[in-house]
Structure 1
Amino acid sequence: MTVGQLRSAHLGLLRDRRVVDHLDPPLRPEPAPERYHTWTLVAAEPAPTRLARLLDARVRPGPYLPGHLHQQQRTLDALQPELLHLASAAGNPLTTPVLAGVFPTGTLDGIGVPDPDLGVLILVNTALLDLLDGVLKTMTAALPHYGTPPLLNGDQAAYVLAEALNAYLYGHGAARPRRLPELSGQRLALVTLMVRRATQFVLAHEVAHLQAGHLVHARRHTALDTPVGALDARAFGWPREHEADRIAAGLMLHTLDGLGPRELDVHEPCLVAALLLVLFLHEITDRLADELGLAVPFADLHPPPVRRIQSLVEHLAGRVRTSRALDLAADVATWLEDQLAEVRTWFRLVDRASA
Structure 2
Amino acid sequence: MSKPKGSLLEIFKASTKLGFTSFGGPVAHLAYFKDEYIDRRKWLDDKTYADIISLCQFLPGPASSQVGIAIGMLRGGLLGGMISWIGFTVPSIIVLVLFALLYQSFDLADANFIHSLKVIAAAVVLHALIGLGKKLTPDRPRIAIALVSALILLLYPSAWMQLLIILAAGLFGWKMFSSMVESKIQPFPVTFSKKIGVVSLGILVTLLTFLPILARNTESMLIQLFDTFFRVGSLVFGGGHVVLPMLEREVVPTGWLTANEFLAGYGMAQAVPGPLFTFSSYLGTMIEGIAGALVATAGIFLPSFLFLIAALPFLNELRKRPAFQGVLTGVNASVVGILLAAFYDPVLKSSIMEGADFALAAILFALLHFFKVPAWAIVLIGVGAGAILNIL
Whose relative contact order is higher, 1 or 2, with alpha carbons under 8 Å and at least 6 apart?
A: 2
Looking at secondary structure, tell me which structure has more strand per residue: 1
Q: TM-score, normalised by structure 1?
A: 0.31
